């Protein structure tokens, strides 16, 4: 039944550190690699070597520029996958019961044998976390690598979602938000972990850590070691010696 | 949102079909035998044809039967259940009218209520989505119901009722467009709330997350042909309501003219329904810096 559980024992989810993410897309690639050959139907690619290659991905990395008046612009790389919402609107709209949220750990999953591919859950998700596979006609979404995290056939160090395991910058963390002492709960509390689009009322589990404040090299009273070397030469200097002669000679050509 | 032909055909035609069933359940018009047969033939062709069209956009239509199971939580499932119940109850009522030349009013009323309830469930599929502020207005169900009642009355040959309802519908559609145009801004969504980066300044997309469009962009970030929206709105208002109402009110009633009125109304409904989807802005577009 597509009713949401009242509470979940655990709240497994991700912390994504926007201060650290370098936008390398390794999480996107490893997510695709693991999930195309494990849980459910493969993640198909349409016209992969053609003019407009399209494919199903469970994780995407957007890149934004943030700029406020009088400050330097900054780049923020922004990975986005299912947030495993407590009040997941994608689950309750499902007409077949294919979409469900697990009472034991809060993971939102799709039972592909029941999915008719109507796409309504993707419409209900504000985050674009669900993509309909064009070959299989079933809805695909992040499983939080449910087939890795409990998998006793792989070394313990690998029992993490593929995106977390592979992130070379350490920008992704996996844990239980129901436990206030877990790594993710503490990180989120320390760094002001935020919800995406809280006004949608979806109560997402995943948290995003905002970029730390940047120091501003252009501000006054800052010591800038390179400035003297980069200052332009004045007219008098440039007119002397070999360089001065070269300057004049080149001007005449 | 992507205006998929299957969904436009489904919501337009089945709305009209169930609208016609609504009126006929009350004995409007009071017909038996062959006349009743042909009218119910039209109603079923529209309702069932629309429902079949709706299965064309499914990825796995062979499993569609499973969509009847989640009526406790899902409006889409409720719609399926309501539609089938309506078709069964109305069929029993229609068989009596056609073959036994008699009417069992209670069955007719139940059929009418079910028919209108089905249209309501259709409207709720769209209306429930907080992700599409234009649809998430209380006016959406009212609009769908008025479409069904007005179109149904027109097909049922109720000259005055249809004319009045068509004019009401025209006004309601205008108000819905005006309110819908402000809905996204009123809901308070922006690229800053979507990314949570608003406290750092103004956010814009620096680079695409992927080099060519994906399912999300094709399905939910449909921005093509919106530039003609105002012209299409004007065409829709004239064809769906003003022209048919004028034909009904000012010209002598005959079947040829009624057919023109119905055809005009259909063009208007399709145009307005195309706009209903094409103009609907999904909040996921914010992540792509597009609306």
Domain span holding position B19: 1-128
Co-location of B276 and B228 in the same domain: yes
Q: How far apart are CA B121 and CA A10, in angstroms?
A: 35
Q: How far apart are CA B151 and CA A174, in angstroms?
A: 55
A125's tokens:
């998700």
Give me the percent of chain A exceeding a pLDDT of 70. Answer: 91
Search chain A and give the residue with CA nearest B131.
A126
Whether B247 is covered by a domain: the verdict is: yes
Provide the domain count of chain B. 2
B24's tokens:
């006929």
Q: Mind listing the pLDDT tens digit for each residue in A45-78?
A: 999 999 999 999 999 999 999 998 888 899 999 9
Q: How far apart are CA B243 and CA A238, in angstroms?
A: 82
C-beta atoms of A65 and B203 within 8 A: yes
pLDDT score, position B223: 76
With b meaning 16 or more CB within 10 Å and e meaning fewer, what string describes A144-183?
Answer: bbbbbbeeeeeeeeeebbbbbbbbeeebbbbbbbbeeebe
Co-location of B113 and B174 in the same domain: no
Residue A1 pLDDT class (50, 70, 90 cuts): low
Whether B142 is covered by a domain: the verdict is: no
A102's tokens:
């697990």
Q: How far apart are CA A210 and CA B266, in angstroms?
A: 52
C-beta atoms of B69 and A96 within 8 A: yes
Contact call for residues B10 and B119 (beta carbons, < 8 A):
no
Classify the C-alpha dihedral B18-B19-B22-B28 as positive or negative. Answer: negative
pLDDT score, position B118: 98
C-beta atoms of B129 and A123 within 8 A: yes
| Model confidence at A238: pLDDT above 70 | no
Search chain A and give the residue with CA nearest B280.
A123
Q: Residue B28 CB: number of other CB atoms within 10 A?
A: 17
Which among B199, A72, A191 is positioned nearest to B190, based on CA atoms?
A: B199
Q: How far is CA B287 from the centre of its chain?
A: 29
Q: How far apart are CA A200 and CA A85, in angstroms?
A: 11
Beta strand residue intervals within B64-155, DSSP E: none
Contact call for residues B223 and B290 (beta carbons, < 8 A):
yes
Residue that terminates a domain, selected from B75, B107, B128: B128
Which among B121, B150, B133, B156 is positioned nearest to B51, based on CA atoms?
A: B121
**Bridging pattern class, strands A207-209 and A12-17:** parallel
Please list every residue in chain B whose beta carbon sits closer than 8 Å to the beta carbon of residue A1: 70, 72-73
Q: How far apart are CA B13 and CA B163, in angstroms?
A: 19
pLDDT score, position A249: 82
Q: How far apart are CA B16 and CA B154, in angstroms?
A: 9
Whether B255 is covered by a domain: the verdict is: yes
pLDDT, mean of residues A114-127: 97
> Which domains can be identified in chain A, with CATH numbers?
12-209 (3.30.70.20)
Co-location of B194 and B289 in the same domain: yes
Classify the C-alpha dihedral A47-A53-A54-A59 as positive or negative. Answer: positive
Search chain B and give the residue with CA nearest A207.
B196
C-beta atoms of A114 and B188 within 8 A: no
Q: How far apart are CA A179 and CA A205, in angstroms?
A: 12
pLDDT score, position A217: 61
Residue A12 pLDDT class (50, 70, 90 cuts): very high
Residue A13's DSSP bridge partners are A175
Co-location of B55 and B10 in the same domain: yes
Mean pLDDT (chain A, rounded): 92
Whether B63 is covered by a domain: the verdict is: yes
Co-location of B85 and B171 in the same domain: no
Co-location of B104 and B217 in the same domain: no
CA torsion, ordered B55, B58, B62, B63, to nearest 10 deg: -110
Classify the C-alpha dihedral B78-B79-B84-B86 as positive or negative. Answer: positive
Residue that terminates a domain, selected from B89, B106, B128: B128
List phi, psi (to 5°) of A155: -55, 150
In the stretch 39-98 of chain A, residues with CB closer than 8 A to chain B read 52-57, 60-69, 71, 73-76, 78, 80, 89, 92-98
Co-location of B123 and B208 in the same domain: no
Chain A: nearest CA to B184, how far in angstroms? 12
Within 8 A by CB and 6+ apart from A14, the residues are: A81, A144, A161, A163, A164, A172, A173, A174, A184, A206, A207
Co-location of B163 and B286 in the same domain: yes
- Residue in B193, B206, B213 nearest the CB of A63: B206
Contact call for residues A110 and A98 (beta carbons, < 8 A):
yes
Q: How far apart are CA A124 and CA A172, in angstroms?
A: 26
Q: How far apart are CA A113 and CA B66, in angstroms?
A: 10
Co-location of B180 and B291 in the same domain: yes
Chain B: nearest CA to A229, how far in angstroms? 32
Burial class (CB in 10 A: 0-12, 13-18, 19+), B57: middle
A44's tokens:
């198909």
Co-location of B282 and B193 in the same domain: yes
Co-location of B121 and B174 in the same domain: no
What is the DSSP secondary structure assignment for residue B132, as one 8-state letter?
S
pLDDT score, position B224: 72
pLDDT, mean of residues A214-236: 65
Co-location of B94 and B162 in the same domain: no
Q: Mind listing the pLDDT tens digit for each residue in A212-224?
A: 987 766 556 566 6
Contact call for residues B277 and B1 (beta carbons, < 8 A):
yes
Search chain B and give the residue with CA nearest A137.
B59
C-beta atoms of B61 and A116 within 8 A: yes
Angle at CA of residue A93, ends B191 and B226, nearest 5°:
45
Residues of chain B with pLDDT under 50: none
């Amino acid at each position: 039944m597509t009713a949401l559980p009242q509470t979940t024992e655990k709240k497994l989810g991700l912390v994504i550190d926007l201060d650290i993410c370098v936008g390398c897309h390794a999480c996107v690639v490893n997510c695709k690699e693991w999930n195309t050959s494990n849980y459910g139907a493969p993640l198909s690619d349409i016209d992969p070597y053609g003019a407009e290659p399209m494919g199903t991905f469970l994780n995407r990395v957007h890149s934004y520029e943030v700029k406020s008046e009088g400050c330097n612009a900054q780049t923020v790389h922004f990975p986005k996958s299912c947030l495993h919402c407590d009040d997941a609107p994608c689950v309750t709209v499902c007409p077949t019961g294919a979409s469900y949220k697990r009472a034991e750990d809060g993971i939102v999953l799709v039972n592909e044998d029941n999915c008719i591919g109507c796409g309504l859950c993707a419409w209900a998700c504000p985050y674009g976390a669900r993509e309909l596979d064009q070959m299989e006609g079933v809805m695909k979404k992040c499983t939080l690598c449910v087939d890795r995290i409990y998998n006793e056939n792989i070394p313990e160090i690998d029992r993490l979602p593929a995106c977390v395991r592979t992130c070379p910058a350490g920008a992704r963390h996996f844990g239980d938000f129901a436990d206030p002492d877990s790594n993710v709960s503490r990180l989120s509390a320390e760094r002001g972990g935020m919800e995406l689009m809280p006004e949608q009322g979806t109560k997402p589990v995943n948290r995003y850590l905002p970029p730390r404040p940047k120091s501003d090299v252009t501000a006054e009273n800052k010591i800038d070691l390179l400035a003297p070397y980069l200052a332009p030469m004045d007219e008098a200097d440039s007119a002397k010696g070999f360089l001065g002669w070269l300057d004049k000679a080149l001007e005449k050509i | 949102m992507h205006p998929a032909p299957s969904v436009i055909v489904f919501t337009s035609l089945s709305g009209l079909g169930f609208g016609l069933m609504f009126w006929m359940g009350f004995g409007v018009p009071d017909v038996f035998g062959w006349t009743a047969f042909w009218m119910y033939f039209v109603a079923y062709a529209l309702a069932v044809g629309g429902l079949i069209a709706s299965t064309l956009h499914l990825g796995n239509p062979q499993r569609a039967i499973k969509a009847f199971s989640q009526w406790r939580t899902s409006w889409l499932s409720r719609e399926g259940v309501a539609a089938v119940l309506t078709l069964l109850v109305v069929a029993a009522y229609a068989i009596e009218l056609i073959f036994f030349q008699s009417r069992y009013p209670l069955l007719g009323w139940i059929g009418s209520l079910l028919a209108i309830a089905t249209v309501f469930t259709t409207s709720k599929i769209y209306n429930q989505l907080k992700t599409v502020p234009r649809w998430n207005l209380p006016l959406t169900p009212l609009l769908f119901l008025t479409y069904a009642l007005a179109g149904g009355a027109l097909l049922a040959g109720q000259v005055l009722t249809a004319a009045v309802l068509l004019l009401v519908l025209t006004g309601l559609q205008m108000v819905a467009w005006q309110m819908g145009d402000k809905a996204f801004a009123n809901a308070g969504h922006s690229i800053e709330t979507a990314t949570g980066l608003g406290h750092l300044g103004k956010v814009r997309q620096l680079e695409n997350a992927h080099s060519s469009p994906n399912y999300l962009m094709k399905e939910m970030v449909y921005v093509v042909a919106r530039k003609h929206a105002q012209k299409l709105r004007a065409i829709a208002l004239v064809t769906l309501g003003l022209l048919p109402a004028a034909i009904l009110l000012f010209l002598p009633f005959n079947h040829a003219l009624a057919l023109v009125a119905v055809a005009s109304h259909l063009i208007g409904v399709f145009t307005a329904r195309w706009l209903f989807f094409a103009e609907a802005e999904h909040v996921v577009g914010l992540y792509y810096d597009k609306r």
